Amino acid sequence: KAGVTQTPRYLIKTRGQQVTLSCSPISGHRSVSWYQQTPGQGLQFLFEYFSETQRNKGNFPGRFSGRQFSNSRSEMNVSTLELGDSALYLCASSEGNSYEQYFGPGTRLTVT
């Protein structure tokens, strides 16, 4: 099976812009979780989607949003970008609750 894929891999945006990141899970996986990794805060959970429903959300402002499509692909959106949003954004997919999660290669976002 193909692994988790994320696009784009690298992105440079200007403060105030918005950005959309995409994640395609492993075939058959219905859960997609998103994480942010920064040097200061480490790896933090953003949100999780299962069958197009957001089931869990981390402590991030409303500028961070996401959605999941019927084919389980997921997107996350960050509006009104701030310098502090510069990070590696990782998505992971899983077959179900508390099953093993598999991560994509990540999208490295730089906000200038």
Partner 1 sequence: GIQVEQSPPDLILQEGANSTLRCNFSDSVNNLQWFHQNPWGQLINLFYIPSGTKQNGRLSATTVATERYSLLYISSSQTTDSGVYFCAVDRGGYNKLIFGAGTRLAVHP
**Site for partner 1, rule CB under 8 A:** 31, 33, 35, 37, 42-45, 48, 50, 55-56, 58, 88, 90, 92, 94, 97-106, 108
Burial status of residue 88 (CB atoms within 10 A of its CB: 0-12, 13-18, 19 or more): middle
Minimum distance of partner 1 from residue 78's CB (angstroms): 18
Closest CA relative to residue 96, chosen from 19, 32, 6, 42: 32
CA angle 110, 112, 105 (to 5 degrees): 5
Identify which of residues 13 and 108 has a Cβ nearer to partner 1 in the complex: 108
Residue 69 or 99: which CB sits closer to partner 1?
99
Q: Which DSSP category does 99 fall into? A: P
CB of 11 to partner 1, least distance (A): 14
Q: Which is nearer to partner 1, 12 or 16 (CB)?
A: 12
